[in-house]
């Protein structure tokens, strides 16, 4: 009976164990947290949920290190320490060490804090993406682990000279406190003193089955002591000779298995190595405080007008003190260069300590997808879409086709640079643009990291990456387009969000903060209105009509109105991004040539034709951007030019019709009759002082009767308007329409009648006799 009871008890315990095992395996996300791997790597995790909130923070240590840097790092580290302690997890404090010169006493204080027991719940990681020498190296040595770019170098703390003894003792004490397994006392001495040699030895311990071989980094003095103690040394390698600088590149240190734990090309690699969500490795400009966030909407077609509008909104937001910009993108795309320019502008905001986020609730295609790639983080709704950035053009046969490789290559390089800067797989981003670029999932042979590469990238890695299955969305003839869930799996975006409220929660924005879009100012509204086709037509028409009226009246008022119309046109195009100083200069030069043709060089010759062509070219160039491939409307250059020419032609036809009408009715107007210049002989009955031509008043040859005055050759008077060559003069109290015999004559000039031919009066300037003068 006793044995039966024991068997029953064992059976019950076995069932309990199996049941407990199934319970433990029911939550892959919990397993991911326990194993330290990113939750995204767990196969059963719901891709729509965000990864566990791993306590982590990324801080860039700028040079020179001072009180501000010290306060920022210590405050952030203590806050993260408290967060990690409450969560019962290990927090990650990643410090990006940058090159530069810092006072040793400032570095000493920060290094002492990093090595203290105050950060017991944190793992401090020094990331060195570029070469760092001098005192800043001490900060890297004070961290638990060091991660370097393969081509970056670290060392030479004394700039080619040995540190003072007390400074060396401090650095050695920091090294001993951190217990970094890849960092030894000998290696630190070699980095502080060029005259110190550093050796790597293999030390054998035990015999037979208990035999073990251990690698150590020692100084020659330490090696001698080991040999005196009868230690078995099987190999000795000099890793730093006497007189050489103690500088080690990432790849060299990794090969020697010293100094660095891992190699990383980007922040994305860091996130993969430590299982940290990528958004945690973005620079936090708020340093633990609530971010000052602005929302900028990018909707509709991406065009030069929208490009300059978004740039103005960015400048306003940054100038107002915003340290986080959320771009809500909902666009089918548009002009490629406009999208690329905006992406680079947004990417450059990182240098201004501004965090940028792309939020895609519906779709961001073509150049809109490129804009999103310029942001630090990309969040999509689960069913949101991003991709399809293929570039097309119109061939000689009028058919639309994808651009050739020689044009696509520089564009791919630009997209790859954006991807590298923001820690995304360049191959995935390039596959959006290249329909014949297969991309494969690859695994790092050393770390197990999952990434995505092309065949050429895999081949260049020399076996570091193991080729896996192809990405289905990158199959031949297909432009990569993915939804929010798949974008996260391909490391293109963060885990999807359900709505704007969840986005705010993920970004650490307080729930009571409303994300209101940056308002459109009256300037923005005016620019959009002025760039519309009806307003452009109106500006052309009014401007040209006022030129005609100014030539007819010479009042100056119509000239000012015309200048305002054309000024508004070029101003709107300038702010709209399609015009620059070149177009304005061409217009002014063309207008100058036309005026010279009219007033200086009579006739219709080269100046008039050249001026007209320059004005026409300036307006066409100001109305559109040429040579910009458009993924939404291929061949739009010709279409836009046709629309502009049509608008100009319609306005000119309207002006001609209006000019004919005005020429018929304005002379009879009481208001305008006194301003309008009429050719000699016209009958102007609208004013009593106007000359009334009557054939019966014509006298003998060489004389003419006007308003009771008999005009003869030699009679003198004074000009009342500019004669260019037609104008008005006053002779014995009578106003007459005359023509200058030669050059222009200014108002108030003494003139005399040179000849009378029919009803035409020709005058010339009276030159004073030198003797009388």
Mention every residue, 6+ apart, whose C-beta is less than 8 A from residue 618: 583, 584, 586, 587, 590
Q: What percent of the chain has pLDDT over 90?
A: 26
**Residue 93: pLDDT band by 50, 70, 90 thresholds?**
very high
Are 425 and 373 spatial neighbours (Cβ–Cβ below 8 Å)?
Answer: no
Res 636 pLDDT > 60: no
Span 671-721, pLDDT tens digits: 555 555 554 444 444 444 444 444 444 444 566 776 677 888 888 899 988
pLDDT of residue 634: 44
pLDDT of residue 364: 93
pLDDT of residue 688: 40
CA distance 515 to 383: 22
Res 15 pLDDT > 80: no
pLDDT of residue 390: 79
pLDDT of residue 402: 65
More confident: 626 or 262? 262
**Residue 448: pLDDT band by 50, 70, 90 thresholds?**
confident
CA distance 727 to 746: 10
- Cα(first)–Cα(last) distance of the chain, in Å? 153
CA distance 290 to 437: 42
pLDDT of residue 230: 80
| β-strand pairing of 262-263 with 145-148 | parallel
* Residue 213: strand pairing partners: 204
Q: List helix spans (H) across 143-219.
A: 165-178, 185-192
CA distances for 154 relative to 32, 159, 260, 529, angstroms: 33, 12, 10, 57
Q: Pick the range with the lowest mean pLDDT from 175-179, 638-642, 704-708.
A: 638-642
More confident: 600 or 321? 321
Span 95-120, pLDDT tens digits: 999 998 888 988 999 999 998 888 88
CA distance 79 to 286: 13
Span 36-54, pLDDT tens digits: 333 333 333 333 344 446 7
**Residue 579: pLDDT band by 50, 70, 90 thresholds?**
low
**Residue 292: pLDDT band by 50, 70, 90 thresholds?**
confident
pLDDT of residue 697: 42
pLDDT of residue 321: 84
Residue spans of the domains in the chain: they are 54-195+242-280, 197-240, 289-435+479-507, 529-666, 695-765
More confident: 85 or 42? 85
- Greatest alpha-carbon pair distance for the chain in Å reads 159
What stretch of H or E contains 216? strand 212-218
Domains 54-195+242-280 and 289-435+479-507 share a fold: yes
Residue 705: phi, psi to the nearest 5? -100, 130
Res 369 pLDDT > 90: yes
Q: Pick the range with the lowest mean pLDDT from 229-243, 457-471, 637-651, 705-719.
A: 637-651
**Residue 334: pLDDT band by 50, 70, 90 thresholds?**
confident
Q: What is the mean pLDDT of residues 160-185?
A: 88
Residue 522: phi, psi to the nearest 5? -65, -30
pLDDT of residue 690: 43
pLDDT of residue 23: 35
**Residue 769: pLDDT band by 50, 70, 90 thresholds?**
low
CA distances for 666 relative to 556, 660, 662, 676, 687, angstroms: 17, 10, 5, 8, 13
User: Helices 522-530 and 304-319, interaxial angle, to 10°?
Assistant: 170
Q: What is the mean pLDDT of residues 124-152?
A: 93
Closest residue by Cα to residue 61 from 144, 153, 152, 124: 124
Are 623 and 584 spatial neighbours (Cβ–Cβ below 8 Å)?
Answer: no
Q: Is the peptide bond before 64 cis (omega within 30 degrees of 0)?
A: yes
pLDDT of residue 632: 39
What b-and-e string marks burial along 536-557, b requiring 16 or more CB atoms within 10 Å of the CB? bbbbbbbbbbbbbbbebbbeee
| CB-facing half-sphere around the CA of 208: CA atoms within 13 A | 1
Hey, what are 430's tokens? 């390039």
pLDDT of residue 119: 87
Q: What is the mean pLDDT of residues 162-182?
A: 88
Mention every residue, 6+ apart, whose C-beta is less than 8 A from residue 324: 285, 286, 291, 292, 293, 294, 354, 355, 356, 357, 507, 509
Q: Pick the range with the lowest mean pLDDT from 205-209, 596-600, 654-658.
A: 596-600
More confident: 431 or 572? 431
Q: Out of 3.90.226.10, 1.20.970.10, 3.40.50.1950, 3.40.50.800, which CATH number does the structure's domain 289-435+479-507 have?
A: 3.90.226.10
Res 305 pLDDT > 60: yes
Q: Pick the range with the lowest mean pLDDT from 205-214, 296-305, 715-724.
A: 205-214
Are 59 and 76 spatial neighbours (Cβ–Cβ below 8 Å)?
Answer: yes
CA distance 318 to 341: 18
Mention every residue, 6+ apart, whose C-beta is less than 8 A from residue 635: 393, 394, 400
Mean pLDDT of the chain: 78
Span 586-626, pLDDT tens digits: 888 877 887 777 666 655 567 777 777 787 777 777 666 55
Q: What percent of the chain has pLDDT over 70?
A: 76
Res 528 pLDDT > 90: no
Span 339-365, pLDDT tens digits: 899 999 999 998 888 889 999 999 999
Hey, what are 693's tokens? 């031509």
More confident: 421 or 576? 421
pLDDT of residue 176: 85
Q: Pick the range with the lowest mean pLDDT from 234-248, 257-271, 428-442, 524-538.
A: 524-538
Mention every residue, 6+ apart, whose C-beta is less than 8 A from residue 436: 476, 477
pLDDT of residue 519: 58
Helix, coil or strand: residue 346 = helix
CA distance 42 to 32: 7
Helix, coil or strand: residue 214 = strand
- What homologous superfamily does CATH list for 695-765? Nucleic acid-binding proteins (2.40.50.140)
Rounded to 5 degrees, what angle do the CA atoms 172, 173, 176 make? 85
Q: Pick the range with the lowest mean pLDDT from 151-155, 513-517, 766-770.
A: 766-770
Res 280 pLDDT > 90: no
pLDDT of residue 289: 52
Q: Out of 3.40.50.1970, 3.40.50.620, 3.90.226.10, 3.30.70.1380, which CATH number does the structure's domain 54-195+242-280 have?
A: 3.90.226.10
More confident: 576 or 653? 653
């Amino acid at each position: 009976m006793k044995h039966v009871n024991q068997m029953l008890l064992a059976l019950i315990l076995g069932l309990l164990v199996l049941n407990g095992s199934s319970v433990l395996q029911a939550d892959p996300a919990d397993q991911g947290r326990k194993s330290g791997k990113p939750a995204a790597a767990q196969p059963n995790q719901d891709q729509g949920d965000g990864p566990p909130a791993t306590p982590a923070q990324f801080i860039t240590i700028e040079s020179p290190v001072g009180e501000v840097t010290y306060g920022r790092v210590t405050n952030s580290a203590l806050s993260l320490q408290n967060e990690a302690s409450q969560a019962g997890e290990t927090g990650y404090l990643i410090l990006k060490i940058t090159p530069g010169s810092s006072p040793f006493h400032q570095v000493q204080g920060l290094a002492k804090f990093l090595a203290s027991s105050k950060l017991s719940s944190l793992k401090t990681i020094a990331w060195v993406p570029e070469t760092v020498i001098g005192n800043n190296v001490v900060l890297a040595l004070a961290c638990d682990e060091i991660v370097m770019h393969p081509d970056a170098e670290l060392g030479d703390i004394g700039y080619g000279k040995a540190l003072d003894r007390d400074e060396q003792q401090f650095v050695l004490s920091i090294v001993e406190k951190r217990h970094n397994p890849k960092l030894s006392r000998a290696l630190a001495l070699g980095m502080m003193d060029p005259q110190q040699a550093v050796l790597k030895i293999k030390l054998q311990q035990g015999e037979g089955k208990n035999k073990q071989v251990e690698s150590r980094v020692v100084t020659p003095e330490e090696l001698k002591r080991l040999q005196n103690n009868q230690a078995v040394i099987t190999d000795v390698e000099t890793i730093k000779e006497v007189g050489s600088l103690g500088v080690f590149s990432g790849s060299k240190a990794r090969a020697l298995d010293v100094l660095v734990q891992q190699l990383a090309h980007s922040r994305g690699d860091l996130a993969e190595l430590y299982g940290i969500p990528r958004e945690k490795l973005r620079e936090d400009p708020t340093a633990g405080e609530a971010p000052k966030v602005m929302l900028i909407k990018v909707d509709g077609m991406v065009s030069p007008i929208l490009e300059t509008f978004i740039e103005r909104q960015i400048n306003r937001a940054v100038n107002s003190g915003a340290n986080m910009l959320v771009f809500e993108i909902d666009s089918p795309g548009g002009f490629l260069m406009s999208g690329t320019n905006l992406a680079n502008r947004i990417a450059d905001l990182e240098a201004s300590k501004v965090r940028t986020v792309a939020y895609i609730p519906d779709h961001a295609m073509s150049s809109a997808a490129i804009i999103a790639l310029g942001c630090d983080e990309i969040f999509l709704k689960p069913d949101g879409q991003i991709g399809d950035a293929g570039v097309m053009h119109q061939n000689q046969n009028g058919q639309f086709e994808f651009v050739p490789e020689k044009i696509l290559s520089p564009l791919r390089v630009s997209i790859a640079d954006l991807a590298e800067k923001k820690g995304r797989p360049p191959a995935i981003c390039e596959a959006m643009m290249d329909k014949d670029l297969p991309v494969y999932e690859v695994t790092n042979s050393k770390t197990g990291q999952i990434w995505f590469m092309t065949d050429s990238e895999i081949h260049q890695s020399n076996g570091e990456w193991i080729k896996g299955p192809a990405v289905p969305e990158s199959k031949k003839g297909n432009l990569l387009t993915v939804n929010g869930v798949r974008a996260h799996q391909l490391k293109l975006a963060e885990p999807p969000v359900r709505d704007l409220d969840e986005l705010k929660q993920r970004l650490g924005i307080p729930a009571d903060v409303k994300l209101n879009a940056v308002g459109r100012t009256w300037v923005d509204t005016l620019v959009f209105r002025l760039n519309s086709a009806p307003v452009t037509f109106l500006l052309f028409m009014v401007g040209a009509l006022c030129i005609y009226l100014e030539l007819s009246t010479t009042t100056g008022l119509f000239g000012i109105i015309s200048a305002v119309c054309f000024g508004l046109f070029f101003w709107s195009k300038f702010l709209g991004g399609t015009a620059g100083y070149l177009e304005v200069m061409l217009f002014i030069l063309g207008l100058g040539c036309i005026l010279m043709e009219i007033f200086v060089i009579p006739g219709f010759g080269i100046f008039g034709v050249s001026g007209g062509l320059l004005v026409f070219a300036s307006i066409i160039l100001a109305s559109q951007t040429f040579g910009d491939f458009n993924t939404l409307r291929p061949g739009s250059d010709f279409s836009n030019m046709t629309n502009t020419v049509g608008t100009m032609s319609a306005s000119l036809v309207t002006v001609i019709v209006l000019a004919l009408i005005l020429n018929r009715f304005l002379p009879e107007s009481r208001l305008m009759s006194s301003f309008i210049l009429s050719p000699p002989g016209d009958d102007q009955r609208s004013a009593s002082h106007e000359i009334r031509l009557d054939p019966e008043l014509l006298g003998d040859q060489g004389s003419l009767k006007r308003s009771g005055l008999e005009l003869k050759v030699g009679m003198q008077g004074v000009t009342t308007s500019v004669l260019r060559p037609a104008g008005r003069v006053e002779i014995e109290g009578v106003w007459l329409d005359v023509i200058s015999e030669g050059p222009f004559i200014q108002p108030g000039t003494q003139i005399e009648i040179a000849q009378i031919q029919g009803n035409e009066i020709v005058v010339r300037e009276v030159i004073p006799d030198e003797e009388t003068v």
